[in-house]
Amino acid sequence: MYNIIQNEWRVLIHNKRLISLLCIISVLLAVIAYFGVQDAKSSQDKKQLAKEQIRHQWENIGDYNPHSAAHYGTYTFKPTTALTALDNGINNTVGTVLQLEGHRQNEIIHSPDSQSLMQSRFGTLKPAVVLQFIIPLLLIFLAFASVSSEKEQGRLKLLYLQGVSTRKLLFSKTISYWLIGIVLLILSLGIQFLLFSNNSGQDLINRLLLIFLFYALFYWIVCSLTVYLSAALKNNTAALTSMLALWVLWSIFLPKLVGAFTEETHPLPSRQAFSAAMQEDRSKGIDGHNPLSEQEEKLKDSILQVYSVESVDDLPINFDGLVMQADEDFGAKVWDKHFGALDATLLKQKKTFQRSGLINPFVSLQSLSMGLAGTDNWHHTHFQQEAEKYRRVFIKTLNDHHAYGGSKTGDWSWTADQEFYNSVADFDYQTPIINKALPVYKTDMVFMGLWFFGSFLLLLIGNPKNTHL
């Protein structure tokens, strides 16, 4: 087996066109891996700067009414993960800026794509684009003639005479091309790791290892199928055109088709319907600014009872703070319900999309790649939820201070001092470790495994036509 692989490579090395193509792709990979890291680093720096600026403004707010401060609010910027440099995922389409304020949950806005003309339809050229689209194509180019040309040039007889079995032939051919893919994979992941080594926690290593594993599996699937077709179809052209057709179907055609399809099977509400439904639920609760509702009366009575006083004016605390917090608590419940339903629909769409991995391992690869890089919707939603958790604590701190900070009910001009505002912690988001995201990607991993074993079995028990003498 080793001899065949060695021989295969000897032939490849003498093919000048091929070597120059490989060199071009390696250089391209290295350059864009470097660009990707630069881009991610500059984005991280910019966000850090913006974050510091916002915090600086907060720490210079001066004497300020706590509720005005809740309206003043704060901003948070979705952090750029290290592996954004590798796979941009959904980063171009989702926003980066989130305003955290009282009364309402905002959306993450200002996506990069919404800030300029359309720039590409397959995304920024990150290493993942090359690894997903270009390397498989390269492997097809390399391997489509691997067995058929042996047959055409009559070397097959010689190999058989030397005691090489069909199985051995197919496996050694597959391995020789697969290893080329692996080398290119290591090149780009290596650059990524080295340039980002300053913050290489265990999680980054785990993510990179998993990314390596699944790309390697995909390359194996592509190589073995190409080699098998080369051995099974009547000539080079047939093998090449079938693999090219498969590549187009897998990488270009099906993902878009299935993507559009999932939106029809699990439709999302329109923004109008969504906010109307949310407003409907919200209106059933306490309106923080319009203190006339029934619920508020109940709250008032219970508080008056606790402090055993007759009216809110006699309370030692500021009742407005309590009302606003009750409103917040209710709003949080409404948000959880509606956004929970939205997330559930999105997850259903994702699951439907992932199921197309049964006929299209490319989809599983793409999905896993952005998931592992932390640039998928799961990580995005995680950030959104953590930010909302922070917002609740943030607003509660302000409302509590409004209630218990020493002001009386109805006093909207009372101010808290800078020291209080400084004591309100900033939002520090930590990207979750990969183990938490893996359950979402079970389908992809299973399908990828199935395809790998399927292609392995094909080489093991397949008996393609061209290997007959």
Footprint of other proteins on 119-138 (CB under 8 A): 119-126, 129, 133-134, 137
Per rule CB under 8 A, count of chain residues that contact other proteins: 87
Is 272 among the residues that bind other proteins (CB under 8 A)?
yes
Say if CB 376 and CB 354 are below 8 A apart. Answer: no
Closest approach, Cβ 72 to other proteins, in A, equals: 6
Closest approach, Cβ 416 to other proteins, in A, equals: 16
Closest approach, Cβ 13 to other proteins, in A, equals: 19
Closest approach, Cβ 257 to other proteins, in A, equals: 6
In the complex with other proteins, which residue's Cβ is closer, 303 or 347?
347
Is 15 among the residues that bind other proteins (CB under 8 A)?
no
In the complex with other proteins, which residue's Cβ is closer, 206 or 236?
236
Closest approach, Cβ 305 to other proteins, in A, equals: 26
Say if CB 212 and CB 190 are below 8 A apart. Answer: no
User: Residue 97: enclosing H or E segment and its boundaries?
Assistant: strand 97-100
| Residues 6 or more apart whose Cβ sits within 8 Å of residue 385 | none
User: Per the structure block, which two tokens stand in for 189?
Assistant: 């992941």
Instruction: Please choose, from the candidates 418, 377, 376, the residue with its C-alpha nearest in 3D space to the C-alpha of residue 87.
Output: 376
Is 10 among the residues that bind other proteins (CB under 8 A)?
no
**Residue 356-385 contact track with other proteins, rule CB under 8 A, x = bound:** ----------xx--x-----xx--x-----
Instruction: Please choose, from the candidates 9, 8, 11, the residue with its C-alpha nearest in 3D space to the C-alpha of residue 169.
Output: 8
Among 172, 174, 262, 360, binds other proteins (CB under 8 A): 262
How big is the chain, counted in residues? 469
- Write a three-state SS string for 100-137: ECCCCECCCECCHHHHCCCCCCCCCCCHHHHHHHHHHH
Among 27, 46, 341, 406, binds other proteins (CB under 8 A): 46
Site residues (CB under 8 A) for other proteins, limited to 313-352: 342, 346, 349-350
Q: What are phi and psi for residue 100, nearest 5 degrees?
A: -105, 120
Please compute, for residue 276, the number of CA atoms within 13 A of its CA located in the half-sphere on the CB side: 5
In the complex with other proteins, which residue's Cβ is closer, 65 or 166?
65
Site residues (CB under 8 A) for other proteins, limited to 181-240: 236-237, 240
